[in-house]
Amino acid sequence: MLLGEREEEIPIDDALFPSRSNPDAPVHGGVRKAASFMKQDLGLLRQQLDSLAAAAASCAGPGAPDDGPALLACEEAWEAVRVGNYGVGAVLLAPSGQVVARGRNQVFHPQFHSDLHAEMVALNAFEETHGAMSDLGGHVLVTSVEPCPMCAARLILARVPKVLYVAADEGGGMARGLDRLPPSFRKLAELQVFAPADVSTALRKLASDLFIHNLEALRALLFKRLGPTGCGAHDLAT
């Protein structure tokens, strides 16, 4: 198991709304925080995606080993953003490199489903069609953004040997925090790899831009689902 360095604690407001609380915070390689937390126009992101795909197809781009599946994951992410979902996509590859399942975030559209993150959608699709498969050796899931705690746990339970993420998620990613899971999950994950994908800088930035495009607005909707008072003072006191 590949365990990353423990990240510094980020206060919840910094993690979810970095531009509010600390506009000068430093930028760490993945999903960018604070100063660069600026939304790109969706049409411009589409152009960038097409340009990177064209460069990869013609071998004219900078190129990196995981650029191919990362582009497919970003394509799914763009489609997710386009209809109002979180900008995250994922593809599952067989040992041959063939795409055997793909998924995009579907939490908000067409209707709210809290569990339909891109990785979950891809795994659901795979397990529905490959339910009899007992050996996933050589399979790789490539996701455009570092898996959240829910998806990291699912990927461990699904026994996907290798998980690669294009952009790190400083506020919600779990791939670099697997050492904080309960012991049984850590044990299960011992032979699995969670690691950054080896992609070009431009592609990593695009994955990050797709993710943050509507992130703040959608997380605000999540907060609203608790209602105006959340669990309420009465419930807290009882």
Q: Is 154 in the site for Zn ion (CB under 5 A)?
A: no
Q: Is 104 in the site for Zn ion (CB under 5 A)?
A: no
Instruction: For the CB of residue 79, give the shortest distance to Zn ion in the complex, in Å.
Output: 17
Q: Is 25 in the site for Zn ion (CB under 5 A)?
A: no
**149-185 burial by CB neighbour count: b if 16+ within 10 A, else e?**
eebbbbbbebebbbbbbbbbbbbbbbbbbbeebeeee
72, two tokens: 């497919």
Q: Which of residues 104 and 117 has its CB atom nearest to Zn ion in the complex?
A: 117
Indicate the angle between helix axes 118-129 and 67-82, nearest 10 degrees: 110
Which strands, in side-by-side order, build the sheet including 162-167? 99-104, 89-93, 140-145, 162-167, 193-196
Active site residue ranges: 119
Q: Is 151 in the site for Zn ion (CB under 5 A)?
A: yes
Instruction: For the CB of residue 175, give the shortest distance to Zn ion in the complex, in Å.
Output: 11
Q: Is 80 in the site for Zn ion (CB under 5 A)?
A: no
Q: Which one of 53-61, 111-119, 195-203, 214-222 is the stretch in contact with Zn ion (CB under 5 A)?
A: 111-119
Instruction: For the CB of residue 14, give the shortest distance to Zn ion in the complex, in Å.
Output: 20
Cβ-based burial of 121 (10 A; exposed 0-12, middle 13-18, buried ≥19): buried
Q: Is 148 in the site for Zn ion (CB under 5 A)?
A: yes
Q: Could you list the residues that contact Zn ion (CB under 5 A)? A: 117, 148, 150-151
